[in-house]
Amino acid sequence: MATLGDVFCLGFSFEAISFFVEAIFIAIYVYGWDRLSPRLHLLSGVPIALAGVSGSLMVLSVNAWMNNPSGFRLEHGRAVDVEPLDALFGNSYLWPELLHMYVAAYIVVGFLIGGAYAWSWLRGRRTPYVRRALAISLTAAALAAPVQIVVGDWIARQVAQDQPTKLAAFEGLGHTERGAAIHLGGWYEHDTGEVEYGIPIPYLLSLLAHHDPNAEVQGLGEVPETDQPPINVVRLTFQTMVGIGLLLAAIGAVHLYRLVRRRGLPRSPWFFRAVIAAGPLSVVALICGWVTTEVGRQPWVVYGVMRTKDSVTGADGIPLGYATLVLVYVGLIAATIWILRRLARIPLEEVLDEPR
C-alpha cells in the first residue's frame, strides 16, 4: 500500500466517483418507481449503466497494471517519475482484459437468469413473460459465449507477450520449445518439467500463443523456481475455464441456430437442462479465470516489481480476519438466496402475462 499506492490508486479514486454516481441514481431509480414520470425514471437508469462501465474500467485498469506495470521508476523503494494516467490507461494489457471480463459478465448474467427461467419453462410455466425473459437472457449469453473464444485468444497472445511465465504455467511447459503442444488434463511434474498423463495436442500452444505452429514458446525453466507460480493450480483452473467456455459457446450456438432458422426457442428439454447447468458453470468459469490470472502472476503481486510476500500487512490475526470474511460471504450468499426466493413469490402484475 505504502510503496506503490501513488501509481495505481488514482484508478480507485476515480472509481469512487463512479460508485457515487451509481449509488445516487440507483436510489433515484428504485425510489422513483411510480413517483417520477416514466420517461424520467427510465433516464435515471442511464447513469447507472455508465457508472457501472466506468467503475469497472477503473478497477480493471489497476489489475491490468498489476499484470503489466509501467509508468514509474523505483528508487530506494519508493516510486518516482510517476505518470499515473500512462500507468493506468496506456497499458496494452488493459483493453483485452476489460473486454474479456465484460464478455464474461454478460455470459454469467445471461446464463444465470436464463437458468432460472429455464427451470420455470421445464416445469410448464410457458407464459409470454417467461418466454421473453428466456429470449433476452439466453440471446445475450449466446452472443457473448462464442465471442469470448476470439477475445480469449486475444488476451492469451497478450499474456504470451507480456507475462511468458504465466503462459507457460497455463500449459505446464517446463522448457522453451518450438512447436509446443497443449496437454489436456494430466499433471505437471516439477522434477522433469513435463506434463504426465495428459493428452497431447501437438503444436497447439505455439499456434494459440503466437498464431504460428512452429513458434518458440518460453518455458518455465527460463526463470528460477522461486519465480514460478504454483503450476498445477494454474493449469487446472485454466483448463476448467476454457473447457466450460467452449461448452457454453456450444449451448449458445444451438440457441442462435434455432433463433435464426426457426424463429423460436429450442424444443428439447435437454437444451433447457443444459441452460440450467450453464448458470452455475459460468460462475465456476469466471472464478477459474480470476484464479488463473491472479495465481498465475505469483509470486508477484505487481509483476516483476513487488513480491506478494513483501506487500502483505504486518498486522497479526490475518487468518482470523479471513475466517470472518468467509463467514460474512456465506451469510451474504444465504441472504441473497433467501431474498431472491421471497421476491420471486410476489405475484407479477397481470399485464405482463397477457399475450400481446
Site for another protein in 138-167 (CB under 8 A): 138-140, 143-144, 147, 150-151, 153-154
Q: Give the one residue of 185, 202, 264, 299 binding another protein; rule: CB under 8 A.
A: 264
Beta carbon nearer to another protein, 35 or 225: 35
- Given a contact cutoff of 8 angstroms between Cβ atoms, the answer to whether 28 and 44 are in contact is yes
Binding of another protein by 83 (CB under 8 A): yes
Minimum distance, C-beta of residue 240 to another protein, in the bound complex (Å): 24
59 lines the binding site for another protein (CB under 8 A): no
How far is CA 326 from each of CA 171, 254, 295, 337, 339, rounded to the nearest angstrom? 31, 38, 19, 17, 20
Q: Is residue 75 a contact residue for another protein (CB under 8 A)? A: no
Site string for another protein, 272-311 (x = CB under 8 A): ----------------------------------------
Q: Does 322 bind another protein (CB under 8 A)?
A: no
Does residue 356 bind another protein (CB under 8 A)?
A: yes
CA 90 to chain centre: 21
Closest Cα partner for 253 from 153, 152, 139, 109? Answer: 139
**Of the two residues 34 and 191, which places its CB atom closer to another protein in the complex?**
34
Dihedral (C-alpha) 320, 321, 323, 328: value to the nearest 10 degrees? Answer: 140
Size of the site for another protein (CB under 8 A): 90
Written as nine digits, the cell of 60 is 480493471
Q: What is the 3-state secondary structure (H, E, C) of 100-128?
A: HHHHHHHHHHHHHHHHHHHHHHHCCCCCH
Give me 143's grid cell: 452472443
Cα separation, 253 vs 145, whole angstroms = 8
State the Cα–Cα distance between residues 262 and 242, nearest whole angstrom. 30
**74 near 304, Cβ under 8 Å?**
no
Specify the residue, 9 or 250, whose C-beta has the smaller distance to another protein: 9
Contact between 3 and another protein (CB under 8 A)? yes
Q: Provide, rounded to whole angstroms, the least separation between the CB of residue 195 and another protein.
A: 27
Contact between 25 and another protein by CB under 8 A: the answer reads yes
In the complex, least distance from residue 46 CB atom to another protein, rounded to whole angstroms: 12
By CB under 8 A, residue 204 contacts another protein: no
Q: From start to end of 32-102, where are the E strands? A: 73-75, 78-80
Using DSSP, state whether 287 is helix, strand or coil.
Answer: helix
Least distance to another protein from the beta carbon of 306, Å?
Answer: 13
- Residue 339 interacts with another protein (CB under 8 A): yes or no: yes
**Closest approach of another protein to the CB of residue 302, in Å:** 13
Least distance (Å) between residue 217 CB and another protein: 17
- Residue among 49, 253, 335, 348 that touches another protein (CB under 8 A): 335
All cell numbers assigned to 209? 500463443
Near another protein in 227-256, by CB under 8 A: 256
